């Protein structure tokens, strides 16, 4: 099947104050969202073809014991050696029911039934990004794609792991994504927007945006 990145997220401290730096550098912030049963909240930046999401633990108890506990987001937020990235994919063209990597079903309450996410079977590997495939149209959940932030050209994800899992290797075949096995963790988002300059959030976050 052909698939591509829908959006990416990076785990931050509560409130994601780093988003203020993105705004100060010319990006337009979109609506915010909470995730019942998952214990998380976010700040979002929409592009014409995707989204950058800054995600944090808003309810520690819910993140640890709720339906989304298997995602390992709490552990990723608390362990300094854990990968803070998540990669969310969508199918290109009609979806046949096939998924691009092995995994398990996650049906959070904030998705309308029978929609669900397919979570990569490597979700217990905290040294790799969390992999999420949406076997449904994301148009209803991301209705404001087409914002003036421009178009995402490519996302490059670097991880220290030299032997990525089968699932991550398969996910790296997605359109718009490039995986590099090098240290340290770093996400680089390349996008087209004539009105902004490069934005480097290191050392606060391993995130760089550039034109």
The pLDDT value recorded for residue 162 is 84
pLDDT at 138: 64
Average pLDDT of the chain?
92
Region 86-112: what's the mean pLDDT? 91
Give 180's strand partners. 158
As a residue count, the chain comes to: 211
Q: Which two tokens stand for residue 95?
A: 């979806």
Question: How many CA atoms does the CB half-sphere of 14 hold within 13 Å?
Answer: 6
**What residues form DSSP beta bridges with 190?**
154, 210
CA angle, 137 as apex, 87 and 159 as ends, to 5°?
5
pTM of the model: 0.94
What number of other Cβ atoms are within 10 A of residue 17's Cβ? 12
- Decide if pLDDT at 140 tops 50: no
* Topology (CATH level 3) of domain 3-210: 2,3-Dihydroxybiphenyl 1,2-Dioxygenase; domain 1 (3.10.180)
pLDDT in tens, 102-135: 999 999 999 998 999 999 999 999 999 999 999 8
Question: What residues does each domain of the chain span?
Answer: 3-210
Which percentage of the chain shows pLDDT scores above 70? 93
Q: How do residues 144-187 score in pLDDT, each as one tens digit?
A: 555 778 999 999 999 998 899 999 999 999 999 999 998 899 99
User: Does the structure show a pLDDT above 60 at 91?
Assistant: yes
**Separation between Cα atoms, residue 54 and residue 19, nearest integer Å:** 7
Three-state SS at 62: helix
Residue 203 CB partners (closer than 8 Å, separation 6+): none
């Amino acid at each position: 099947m052909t698939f591509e990145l829908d959006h990416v997220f990076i785990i931050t401290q509560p409130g994601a104050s780093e988003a203020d730096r993105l705004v100060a550098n010319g990006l337009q912030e979109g609506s915010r969202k909470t995730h019942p049963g998952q214990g998380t909240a976010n700040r979002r930046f929409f592009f014409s073809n995707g989204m950058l999401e800054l995600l944090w633990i808003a309810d520690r108890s819910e993140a640890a014991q709720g339906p989304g506990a298997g995602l390992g987001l709490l552990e990723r937020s608390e362990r300094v050696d854990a990968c803070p990235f998540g990669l969310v994919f969508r199918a290109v063209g009609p979806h046949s029911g096939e998924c691009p990597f092995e995994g398990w079903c996650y049906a959070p309450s904030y998705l309308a039934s029978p929609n669900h996410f397919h979570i990569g079977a490597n979700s217990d590997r905290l040294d790799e990004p969390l992999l999420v495939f949406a076997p449904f149209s994301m148009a209803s959940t991301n209705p404001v794609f087409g914002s003036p932030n421009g178009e995402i050209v490519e996302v490059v994800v670097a991880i220290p792991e030299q032997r990525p899992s089968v699932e991550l290797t398969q996910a790296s075949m997605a359109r718009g994504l490039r995986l590099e096995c090098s240290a340290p963790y770093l996400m680089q988002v390349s996008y087209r927007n004539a009105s902004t300059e490069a934005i480097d959030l290191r050392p606060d976050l391993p995130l760089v945006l550039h034109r």
